[in-house]
Amino acid sequence: MTMLSVERLAEVLVEVADTLVDEFDLIEFLHMVTGHTSEVANADAAGILLADHHGRLQLMAATDGRTTMLELFQLQAHEGPCQDCFRQGHPVIEADLTTADQWPSFAPHAVAAGFRAVHAFPMRLRDEVIGALNLFGKTAVRMTGADIRVVQALADVATIGLLQERAIRQGEVLTEQLQNALNSRMVIERAKGVLAQIHSVSPAEAFELMRAYSRRHRLRLGEVAQAVTEDPARHPELTTPDPR
Amino acid sequence: MSEVGDLEADVRGLVAREPRLQRDKPEVVGQMQRLCRAAARALPALGVGVTLISEAGPQVTVAASGEPIERIEELQFSLGEGPCFEAYRTRRPVLIPDLAAVAPTRWPGYAMAAHDHGVCAVFALPLQVGAARLGVMDIYRDEAGNLATQALRRALTFAEVATATMLDGQFSPESMDNLLHGAVDNRYEVYQAQGMIMVQLGVPLADAMVRIRAYAYAHNKRLNEVAADIVADKLVLEPDAP
């Protein structure tokens, strides 16, 4: 696989990095990476597989959507360069599939589909391997050390972007949870005040009244609290003085 | 990578080495208290406070570098105005090197109240993750003047570490509860008082809060104090005369 000019490679890297800053669309991003990698490595097809939470490789994006191609990617969930690369965490380079015997199931399929070379690069950041970048070539051409480093660099940039986006999303989820917890607490405290005033009891006693009422009527405490402050008429048993 | 990474490692180191105090709360809140003290020491500052703010309104001051700072932190929320709200709303740091020079229309109540507590400069840094906002870190100084570039960088890093610390391990409802219940000032009595006044005066929730705030301001008391008195039945607000 022959490489592009340094200038074009630099352009590609900048474009990938740029995308990470903008509105992030995961699938779009991955498609872009496969396209660029394919161009840079002069490959005939490229794909990205990511591991799901069971550790199974799933195809996320590919430059070629034809059925035969999809099957070749899917096969690698069980056997093939991507599987090896994912498990071992380093690039797996196979320049000539016709002489390869390590993939008795995958290799013949790939050769039958017209491919001679298959390579896989780990999507990896330190100890975490999240998937693999997969390249197919129709001719059996070697990859030099420099070639391998360049493609791995693209895979690395893509990995960093993915993990960063994931961390941000996780942070957003947690922040939302914290906000919800804050709001729920506020609603409950207000309801305690309302009931404390109505029944001339302490807020703590008011809380017990509310809990007992919620349990008795199989209602969620939060919902009851909300209603107490917004629409007390909905729970007259709780909101009229001297309940029994 | 090296410079950014170093700054964060630096700040985390400062927080880790900050001595624990007897009055420190457990777990995340305790960490945040140490972080505030470490920040006040490093920047340096009169004090540092961290408050969680919710879009719907409730706030919780998680930690501050000292008890007097807790009171200063509360000012913005008692008065309902101040640089922290602006920082939260605009998602940008609000840097006020000279509170006295601020136009009187900007924060009419706050500027004076803060000055009474010896605050001359305030730097409010939003705490956020992606599009989501947690709250604000407030840095107070008793002298007018800008934060030097390196100090500002450090301050921003402290804010990042604070955010990460609070979000770290907040995966269970229990740990989230701990953060909210264990916070230095979670104002729960303010919300209880709000509910009580709503019934006492027969007014909507928002009006109840306005009445409580107005009473606090008129009598030069802290919102928390007034709320505590209302909840303890030591204070009943009179309905407006017809």
Q: How confident is the model at residue B1, as a pLDDT?
A: 39
CATH of the domain at A209: 1.10.10.10
At A182-191, the pLDDT tens digits run 888 889 999 9
* DSSP codes, B135-191: EEEEEEESS--PPPHHHHHHHHHHHHHHHHHHHTTTTSHHHHHHHHHHSSB--HHHH
B88 contacts on A by Cβ (under 8 Å): none
> Residue A214 and residue A224: Cα distance in Å, rounded?
7
Question: Mean pLDDT across the stretch A153-174?
Answer: 83
Asked whether the predicted pLDDT for residue B18 surpasses 50, the reply is yes
Instruction: Tell which of B196, B200, B226 to mutate to test the A interface (max A CBs under 10 Å).
Output: B196
Asked whether the predicted pLDDT for residue B242 surpasses 50, the reply is no
Q: Is B60 on the interface with A (CB under 8 A)?
A: yes
Do both A116 and A202 map to the same domain? Answer: no
Do both A45 and A121 map to the same domain? Answer: yes
CATH of the domain at A33: 3.30.450.40
ipTM score over 0.90, yes or no: no
Contact B195 A196 (CB under 8 A): yes
Contact B200 A194 (CB under 8 A): no
Domain that holds residue A143: 6-171
Please report the domains of chain B, with CATH numbers, ordered by start residue. Answer: 2-182 (3.30.450.40), 188-231 (1.10.10)
Q: How confident is the model at residue B2, as a pLDDT?
A: 47
Answer yes or no: is A244 within a domain: no
Number of domains in chain A: 2
Q: How confident is the model at residue A220, as a pLDDT?
A: 92
Q: Is B202 on the interface with A (CB under 8 A)?
A: no
Q: How confident is the model at residue A120, as a pLDDT?
A: 95
Contact B191 A193 (CB under 8 A): yes
Contact B180 A229 (CB under 8 A): no
Task: Compute the Cα dihedral for B137, B143, B144, B147 and give only its sign.
Answer: negative
Contact B231 A203 (CB under 8 A): yes
| pLDDT class of B199 with cuts at 50, 70, 90 | very high
3-class SS of residue B43 = coil
At B41-59, the pLDDT tens digits run 999 999 999 999 887 777 8
Burial profile A106-125: b = 16 or more Cβ within 10 angstroms, e = fewer: bbebbeeeebbbbbbbbbbe
At A95-132, the pLDDT tens digits run 888 888 899 999 999 999 999 999 999 999 878 899 99
Q: Is A192 on the interface with B (CB under 8 A)?
A: yes
Mean pLDDT, all residues of chain B: 88
Question: Mean pLDDT across the stretch A127-156?
Answer: 89
